[in-house]
Structure 1
Amino acid sequence: MDNGTTMTPRGFGLSLTWLVRLRWITALGQGLAILVAKRLLPDELTAWPLLCLVAFGALSNLALMARLRQPEPVQPALPGLILGLDVLLLTGLLYGSGGAANPFTAIYLVHITLAAVVMRGLWAWSLGALSLAGFGILFVWNVHIHSLSHMDHGGGDGISLHLVGMWVAFAISAALIAAFVGLITEALRQRDEELAALRDLTARQARLAALTTLAAGVAHELGTPLGTIAIAAKELLRSTEAMGLQGSSLALDAALIREEVGRCRRILDQMAGPTGTTQGEPFQSLDWADLEADLLEGLGAEDRDRLTFHWPSSPGGTLPRKGLARTLRALVSNALEATARPGKVQVSARLEGGSWTLGVADEGIGMTPEVLARVGEPFFSTKPTGSGMGLGLFLARTFAEQLGGELCVDSQPGRGTRVQLTWPQVAHG
């Protein structure tokens, strides 16, 4: 989990791949710079220790490439450790080539910028402090190169005022770069996250709109055939009743047909309605007793006894009551189906931190992580074919988001499932 001190897991592969390429370019540039400097200063510069440091950096890059090819996830600290190693290698190269008098000390600022872009928080500031310490050390300890020295850099005993000023200017520049680049990078990350969430919400709303149109069309087309079947079943029932005992079995079949037709009509009425949305529905005061009555409506005596309600003493505020009843009825239906009889299903509500949380907990077999990752997708269901459309959790999630809340599902194999619907106490002003 991202704790604010490392880059997001989503960016590991991209940042590390980009970092590997940048380190190859850096190693090549450092090698060429050392060779050119050796040619210009053949008697003052010892090149082979510096080339060894460049070679070590190249070997570490090969090791990093090998690590990226492995299937195991990359640790969040790895980019920071790589950048820290690069700061130490740069300090070593500058130590052997004139120290603070080397004009390439400005490359420290490049590393600080990289740390602010790739890492976050504590890591970025730690790498900035490491660069600052490395630059400060070069004022005291270095391999002196006369051709790179400045007339004001070494006068008298100790460090000159000019060197102190260079170090302070570097510290201020490093802090400003780390702060501003870090803020900009964090703002870009937040914008990307918000855009991704908005795209996801827009896609779900589009699916919901298509589902609403489809449901209304299906309800309209099936209404007439079901009405015909209901009339035929009613006539059949009258005929069998006139037959006495001989038509008793047929009467039961006719009654069953009428009952199932009525069930289909109720389902179609729900499909032809708002299909889980709250648009156009007035906000009303929520009474827990009325909500409980809505949930018990249409359930058999056995299922009624399996439900346990825990309502708070305070009223539930104002919200679309019909939409909440439809949403909660779907969750309760799923919980009853998932719990083997005579297992119980708990329905509870509580007000906490200015938000209402309504939970439905069952005693079923629970969900595997693979199934849990897909809950809420439209038309995804673990029920047998024909037993459900896989829309209950999708519509519940949409309902919660329209109220400014969210839907959370907690489930483990063998421990049942708990679905929580959360929305602000004051959904609309």
Structure 2
Amino acid sequence: MMSEGVRYSLAEPHISTAIWLTQLRWVAVAGQLLVIGSVVLLVLIPLPLLPLLALVAWTAASNIGLGVWARRLRNSLAHSPSRVGYESSSSLVADAATDDSIGSRVLTAILCMDVVTLTGLLYFTGGGANPFLIFYFANIAIAGMILPRQLAWVVAFLSVAGVSWLLNEARSIDVIANSPLDPNAPWGVSKFAFLVAFATSSCVITFFVTMLAGQLREREKQLAIAEQEKERSRRLEAMATLAAGAGHELASPLSTIAVVAKELSRNLEKYEVSSGIRRDVELIREELNRCRDILHRMKSGAGEAAAEHLHPISLSELIQETVQAMREPHRVVVDLPADIAERRGLLPKQALSQALRNLIQNGLDASPPEAIVTLTIREQDNAPGFKKWEVTITDSGTGLSEEVSRRIGEPFFTTKEVGQGMGLGVFLTRNVIQGIGGTMKFMSRAEGGTICEVEIPTKSV
């Protein structure tokens, strides 16, 4: 799944690239006007100014549109929250992919437009004989740097098609009319060799530039992932520190309150007191146990889970460890094929079973009373010696709203009633799953309820 931070990192390069391309195209507009003016006023070569200036004006107008699009996209992202380190719903993944696709198409359209504009300028100024024909290579190189490989090849092929057309159709200029590349010159070895050389050079430039740009983009993506992992580790470390500090500071007063409550309950048995007072004392003891349980879960989820060693464990043992420790195991239906039940892997038994237990309990809490939660387990083979266990948890709740889908996994975010949850279960569970190289995602079912899919990679034992 993909975080808001990932979504931003997908769109942000298109923004910076569009701004850079806008500035570069303004330089091109100024350069075109300078060349046209110099040729007409200084070199005194007559040129058809109306179509040439119209093409330059078209470039300027499209550049204004590109700048407006880039600024609007930047403003929209600036006003959307960035939650680096948290995964979102599958809808955000689709949105991120859509943003990336739209950005690539916009930049491709601009560069193709520039190729067509350059072809038009060259058409009115000598065609293939014009030495500014080499500026096709600039467009090809830029496309290779900023576009995906397939779209960069579109720009390259369009450039080759433009040159092929200019070698046949263009307005000649007397100064360069004797060139073997003039459109009125007959086709011969010179024209054919030039076209082959241009096409070959275009392919070579596109291949190597896209390859290098792809490697750079991949490295940037890996750096972004590493940064998110660093942020996740920092938050987990902070959580572990908080849990340790809270446990240390609260252990003594909680123990004191527990002793006093126990003595009070024992003394009340000697006297006739109202049932309300007895219930209040019992409530105090129950809440004390709840506080201890909260501290224990924070400690085990944030600290002990990270330090637990890997142990050989079968699927049946993992599921048994997970389900039997639940408050309502009778509401959990397990679908575990017999042929994979005894498959074993190296995993942190306690941490992983607690993580799965958190997800199942969330499903039970979201479902109506006495409704069941289905736990489905499947196995897929990965590389030799490795396998992937797929655990699917399906509940009968109301599903996930857009807001919940966007925020699920944030620490201290919960949809439960006050006092019913801390909002740490999914956060700590995700840390455990990601810590062993797995993934976790949530989806709403059309017929109601939520599906949680967990992928657990493990080494075969």
- Structure 2 Cα separation of the partners of residues 23 and 117 of structure 1: 16
Q: Deviations over 1:90-145 (max 9, x none)?
A: 11111211111111001000011121122212221111011011112222222222
Partners of 2:361 and 2:348 lie apart in 1 by 20
- Structure 1 residues 239 and 273: CA distance shift in structure 2, 3 A: same
Identify if the C-alpha distance between structure 1 residues 205 and 80 changes in structure 2 by more than 3 Å, giving closer, same or farther: same
2:411, 2:427 within 8 Å by CA — same for their partners in 1?
Answer: yes
Contact 2:443/2:452 (<8 A) preserved: yes
Q: Does 1:426 align with 2:459?
A: yes
Q: Tell me how far apart the structure 2 counterparts of residues 374 and 254 of structure 1 sit (CA, whole Å).
A: 38
Counterpart of 2:288 in 1: which secondary structure? helix
How many angstroms apart in 1 are the aligned matches of 2:248 and 2:367? Answer: 34
Listed as ranges, the matches of 1:46-195 within 5 Å are: 46-67=48-69, 76-149=104-177, 158-195=186-223
Query: 1:322 pairs with 329, 337, 350, which one?
Result: 350
- CA distance 1:397–1:380, change in 2 (3 Å): same
Q: 1:61 to 1:246 in 2, by over 3 A?
A: closer
Q: Percent identity?
A: 34
Code of the aligned partner of 2:444: S
2:394/2:449 contact within 8 Å kept:
yes
Give the whole-Å Cα distance in 1 for the aligned partners of 2:160 and 2:329. 70
**Alpha-carbon distance in structure 2 between the residues aligned to 1:46 and 1:218:** 81
- Deviation of 1:205 (Å): 0.7
Please tell me whether Structure 1 or Structure 2 has the larger radius of gyration of its CA atoms.
1
Q: Per the alignment, do residues 53 and 379 of structure 1 end up closer, same or farther by CA in structure 2, a change over 3 Å counting?
A: same
Q: Shift in Å at residue 68 of structure 1?
A: 5.1
Mapped pair 1:266 → 2:266: no
Supply the distance in 2 between the matched residues of 1:327 and 1:89 (Cα, whole angstroms): 59
Whichever residue aligns with residue 42 of structure 1, its letter is L
Comparing 192-201 with 261-270, greater Cα deviation is found at 261-270
Q: Deviation of residue 359 (structure 1)?
A: 2.3
- Write the distance in 1 (CA, Å) between the matches of 2:429 and 2:318: 19
Q: What is the identity, as a one-letter code, of the residue corresponding to 2:337?
A: P
Mean CA deviation greater in 129-138 or 39-48: 39-48
Give the secondary-structure state (helix, strand or coil) at the position aligned to 2:399. coil
Q: Which amino acid aligns with 2:420?
A: S
Q: 1:251 to 1:384 in 2, by over 3 A?
A: closer
Could you give the per-residue CA deviations for residues 230-260 of structure 1, whole angstroms, max 9, x where no partner exists?
22233233323334x6576655544444344
Rounded Cα–Cα distance in structure 2 between residues aligned with 1:158 and 1:339? 81
Deviation at 1:307, TM superposition (A): 2.1
Shift of 1:370: 2.4
Unpaired runs of at least 5, structure 2: 2-8, 77-98, 382-386
**C-alpha contact 1:368 1:412 (8 A) present in aligned 2:** no
- The answer on whether the counterparts of 2:104 and 2:147 sit within 8 Å (CA) in structure 1 is no
Residues 141-169 of structure 1: CA deviation (Å, up to 9, x unaligned) = 22222322456557997223222222222
* SS of residue in 2 equivalent to 1:77: helix
Contact 1:219 1:271 in 2 (8 A): no
Measure the CA separation in 1 of the matches of 2:259 and 2:164.
Answer: 94
By relative contact order (CA 8 Å, sep 6+), the higher-ranking structure is 2
Aligned residue type for 1:391: L
The separation in 2 between residues aligned to 1:127 and 1:153, in whole angstroms, is: 22
Name the amino acid aligned to 1:227: S
For 1:363, the equivalent position in structure 2 comes to: 396
For 2:84, the equivalent position in structure 1 comes to none
How has the CA–CA distance of structure 1 residues 214 and 100 changed in structure 2, closer, same or farther, with 3 Å as cutoff? same
Q: Is 2:238 the counterpart of 1:210?
A: yes
TM-superposed deviation, 1:369:
1.9
TM-score, structure 1 as length reference: 0.87
- Match for 1:404: what amino acid? G
Secondary structure of the 2:441 match is strand
Which residue is 1:4 aligned to? none
- Provide the rounded CA distance (Å) in 2 between the counterparts of 1:13 and 1:412: 35
Q: Please name the residue that 1:28 is paired with.
A: 30
CA RMSD of aligned residues (A): 3.0
> Contact conserved, 2:163 with 2:195, CA < 8 A, in 1?
yes
1:304 partnered with 2:306? no
The range that moved more, 348-357 or 45-54, is 45-54
- Whether contact under 8 Å (1:359, 1:421) holds in the other structure is yes
In 1, distance between residues paired with 2:208 and 2:103?
A: 26
What SS does the corresponding residue of 1:404 show, helix, strand or coil? Answer: coil
Return 5+ residue gaps in structure 1 as ranges: 2-6
Matches of 1:70 and 1:210 in 2, distance apart?
37
Q: Is the 8 A contact 1:286 1:319 kept in 2?
A: no
Question: For the Cα contact (< 8 Å) 1:241–1:247, is it kept in 2?
Answer: no
Aligned with residue 232 of structure 1, among 255, 260, 266: 260
Pick aligned residue for 1:344 from 344, 349, 372 = 372
Tell me how far 1:212 sits from its aligned partner: 0.9
Where 1:193 maps in the other structure, the secondary structure is: helix
Q: State the distance in 1 between where 2:156 and 2:442 align.
A: 42
Please tell me whether the aligned partners of residues 143 and 152 of structure 2 are also in contact (alpha carbons under 8 angstroms).
yes
How does the TM-score come out when normalised to structure 2?
0.82
